[in-house]
Structures are given as C-alpha cells and as structure tokens.
Chains A and B, each alone.
Chain A
C-alpha cells in the first residue's frame, strides 16, 4: 500500500513540475511551488524522513513562497513568452536524463536493506546512538553530536547568506525614506480584514508556542532547531503580513534581530569552545558534565537553541529586507 501511495504522490509531483515549466505567469508558478513543496514533504513522510518532511513543509511551502512572492512584487509577474520550446535545451536535458536513467539500472532497488548506503556509518549510528547519546531521535543525535561540525558549518552558511541578503537589499532605496514623503498610515496592514486580524491575535501566540515545543521536543520526536526556527519566523511573518511591516519592526528592532543572528552562531561555537576548555575536544559534549549522556544532553540542547535562534532571525530579517524594499 505504501508503495502505491508513494507512486501516486510522485506522479502528482511530476505533473506539478511540468505545469510549472509550461506556465509563463510567474505568480501562478510561485503558488504552485508551494504545492510542490507540500507534496515533496508528504513523500518524505512516506519515506520515513519525518524530520526532513517537517523542514521541507515549513521552508518550502512557507518561507520560500513568501520570498518568491516578495521578489515578484519588486520585479515582474509575467515571463516573456517563448515562441516554441527551446529544442536545444530540451535535447540537452533529454540526453542528460537518458544517461542518468541508464545509470540507475545498476542502483540498488528501492528499500533494499543490502544497499551500500546501509552498510557503513548508518547502522553504526543506529546501533550506538541510543546508548552513547541517549536521545531517542537518531536524526537529532547524528545532526547535533556525531556530525556537529557539519551543522556548525551549515549554520555559518546560513549566517553568511543572511549577511549577503542584508548587504544587497539593506542600503538606500528603503521604504522608510519614501514613506516620509507620502505617508499613508499603514497602507500595508490588512485593516479591513477584521476576521483575519482577530483570528491572528489568537493564532500567532499558538504558533510561537508550537515553535518552542518543536525546539525542545526535538530530542524525542521530529523537530529541532532548524524546524523550530522556521516556525518561529513564520509566526513573525504572519504578524507582519497582518499588521504591517512597521509594527513588526517596532516589536523586533532590526538591531536586536541582527544581534541575535550572530548570537545563535556564537552560542553554537561557544558550546564547542566550552567543551574544549573542559578537557574535551571541540564540540565533544560529553565533557560538559560528569556523566557522558548528561553532557551530551546539555550540549545538544544548547546547540539546537543556537541553531534555532540563528535560523529564526535569519529568516525574519530576510523577509524584512525583501518586503521593506520599495518597488522601483
């Protein structure tokens, strides 16, 4: 049964991908990428990757759609129609695809437990993680402890990307300068949508609470810093969609926001350094407490918190800098 579900969803996915390619209306395309991400997240759930599905749903259908739409509102909504399909490109794509398909004939079949992927590190992690780390969610233990260096690097990449976006979009041509000229009070806020405003008053605290749950429950079930950060950011984005950007900026001033971006990364690196000073190696959390698993727990908690803070603030400040920009 699971196979049939998997195949159906994959067929839907292919359908959406073709539609995205054929459409020239960029707005509709962005909306469809949201569907695409939701479908992809469903497939990840079918394939047992619950943590990944969590992230893909939050990132792909939420943040990514919002960012694409923000870009479209600053640029154009319609692609220049092409007269015919680009045959040269089609040929290249078909040839590459054909070669890749030929390559798959030697691949291990779907779900084969004898596949090379399942022969080396994976089973080792599955075997020793419960006793060595003591965290039920193996994805968390691999993410935060065994491959802590990787995750530190990824967090640094997110930090760098945020800096790049801020550098590109922050200076000159901001809406603040324009709004002093033609001050329309809260034109951006959805004043007239009363039902939405009342509902969001109930709903946003729930989102933030759920974000905290995901952050601290990540050891035991699907969740963790990355997912919680995105959910938190989604809550703040909803607030600024409903109440206008200026109000959201009052609640979280950009200075605080940018400070927190750096703070999260520093918390992560600081945990690594702390374990270094307590007679361990860099990011070897077992040095943090008397008992090894207890130390691992503290370490994972701290670095997940660091990741969560960085991701949440990075996503929020990216959204702020996109939607804070005036259409030229």
Chain B
C-alpha cells in the first residue's frame, strides 16, 4: 500500500520536474517547483512508513517551511528584479 502511494508520488514528482525543466514561462517553472516541493514533503512522509521507521517527520516539516520561503523569495525577485518572464 505504501508502495502504491510512493509510486504515485514519484510519478507526480517526475511530471512536475518535466514541467519545471521545460517552462515555457518563468511562472510555469515556479509553479512546478512549488508543487515539486510539496511532493517531496509527501515523499518523506511516505518513505518513513515504507522503510518502517516513521519517526523522522520533522524533516517533512522543514521541507514545507523551506519550500514556502523559497517560493516567496523567487516571487519577490520576479517582482523587483525585472526578470524576463518568457
């Protein structure tokens, strides 16, 4: 069962990754990166149960925090750094 969830998460990660790599606009990339970040949170949570030691969920919390801060930083830069959006 955890294996099924893990496969789902990995496939989603791959698809988000492809979108992040291919663009085409900057915002697509940011959206995909943000989504990728949430999927890593799920990945860590499921991995803990899959490997039989689910004590390390603190890690997933850090991922949520950092992912959010990263996205906000990128957006701030887009707004004030005069990024070419294409």
Contact = CB atoms under 8 A, between A and B. Distances in A.
A256 interface: no
Interface bracket on A: 35 or more
A210 B65 contact: yes
Contacts of B61: 210
B77 to A, nearest CB: 4
A262 interface: no
Contacts of B17: 12, 15-16, 35
Interface in A216-244: 217, 221-223, 227, 231, 234, 237-238, 241-242
B33 A1 contact: no
A50 B61 CA distance: 13
Contacts of B37: 38, 61
Interface residues of B, number: 44
Interface string A63-75: 0011001101100
The interface residues of chain B, by DSSP majority, are classed as helix
B84 A25 contact: yes
A34 B40 CA distance: 12
Contacts of B56: 45, 50, 221-222
Interface stretch (A52-60, A87-95, A113-121, A292-300): A52-60
Interface string B53-74: 0011011011101111110111
A108 to B, nearest CB: 22
Contacts of A54: 58-59, 62
A15 B17 CA distance: 9
A50 to B, nearest CB: 5
Contacts of B77: 27, 69-70, 72-73
A32 B80 CA distance: 20
B58 A61 contact: no
A283 interface: no
Given A15-B21, A16-B21, A41-B40, A241 B66 contact: no
Contact of B69 (A35, A62, A213): A62
A59 to B, nearest CB: 9
A161 interface: no
B55 A66 contact: no
A101 interface: no
A159 to B, nearest CB: 24
6 contacts: A15-B21, A27-B26, A35-B17, A57-B63, A58-B62, A188-B80
Interface of A: 1-2, 5, 8, 12, 15-16, 19, 25, 27-28, 31-32, 34-35, 38-39, 41-42, 45-46, 50, 53-54, 57-58, 61-62, 65-66, 69-70, 72-73, 77-78, 187-188, 190, 196, 203, 207, 210, 213-214, 217, 221-223, 227, 231, 234, 237-238, 241-242
